[in-house]
A = this chain, B = another copy of it.
């Protein structure tokens, strides 16, 4: 069975990605990070999702919290803003986050013999984070095959971002067709300890609108 490493945040997109990889017959290694994010409920969600969908291993890596500064997701003194229309990169941006996550996924993949990395990045219904765009994903795949023993020996890595061009409603429909239970997932940037969502941040807004557009009941638990 081919192996894949799946970046699993515990949110809607990465859960869909894991279910998709699984449906494609991959033996799945899930990778999550504790990086000082406000929303530690995410990690509990990631564990629930990994268990529900089924993985060979779910590794949670702790990253040095002090490395990331100036983001509303890692710095309690910066308020998580309500959703705003526009193309500006919001203060919830975390410096080099997906570069670091994919780099760690690459090391993990080469160690366990996986050649496919799955990431739930999308450039539709997103917060304009630069490290979710297709040009970033492509550049990382190029790097991966220059950086590694496997890559230079011709046993190439593929970075799969299957949600790249799906809007949130399409992602939800895909996930439901694969049996994903979205009630297990947490997307909110400032969920409480029980995983209840604020309903106001970018991430909540995209998610809510996705369920509406997909004409599916929103199973999210909200704070109020």
Which residues of the other chain, B, contact A98 by a CB distance below 8 angstroms? 147
User: Whole-angstrom distance from the CB of A104 to the nearest CB of chain B?
Assistant: 6
A68 to B109, CA, bound (A): 9
The 8 A CB mask of A116-155 against B (1 = contact, 0 = none) is: 0000000000000011010110011011101111011000
- A68 contacts B111, C-beta separation under 8 Å: yes
- A69 contacts B111, C-beta separation under 8 Å: yes
Interface status of A106 (Cβ within 8 A of chain B):
yes
Interface status of A26 (Cβ within 8 A of chain B):
no
User: Which of B69, B100, B106 is A95 in contact with, Cβ under 8 Å?
Assistant: B106
Interface status of A179 (Cβ within 8 A of chain B):
no
For the complex formed by this chain, how many copies does it contain in all? 2
A104 to B101, CA, bound (A): 10
User: Whole-angstrom distance from the CB of A58 to the nearest CB of chain B?
Assistant: 12
Q: Report the nearest B residue to A132, measured CB to CB.
A: B147
Q: Report the nearest B residue to A74, measured CB to CB.
A: B111
Interface status of A59 (Cβ within 8 A of chain B):
yes
Q: Report the nearest B residue to A101, measured CB to CB.
A: B103
Q: Report the nearest B residue to A89, measured CB to CB.
A: B149
- B89 contacts A96, C-beta separation under 8 Å: no
User: Which of B64, B104, B109, B130 is A148 in contact with, Cβ under 8 Å?
Assistant: B130
A62 to B67, CA, bound (A): 11
A139 to B157, CA, bound (A): 15
Interface status of A112 (Cβ within 8 A of chain B):
yes
- A95 contacts B67, C-beta separation under 8 Å: no
Interface status of A223 (Cβ within 8 A of chain B):
no
The 8 A CB mask of A40-71 against B (1 = contact, 0 = none) is: 00000000000000000001011110111110
Interface status of A110 (Cβ within 8 A of chain B):
yes
Interface status of A177 (Cβ within 8 A of chain B):
no
9 contacts between A and B (CB under 8 A): A61-B67, A63-B63, A69-B111, A93-B149, A96-B107, A97-B107, A99-B143, A131-B147, A131-B148
List the interface of chain A (C-beta within 8 A of B).
Answer: 59, 61-64, 66-70, 89, 93-100, 102-104, 106-112, 130-131, 133, 135-136, 139-140, 142-144, 146-149, 151-152
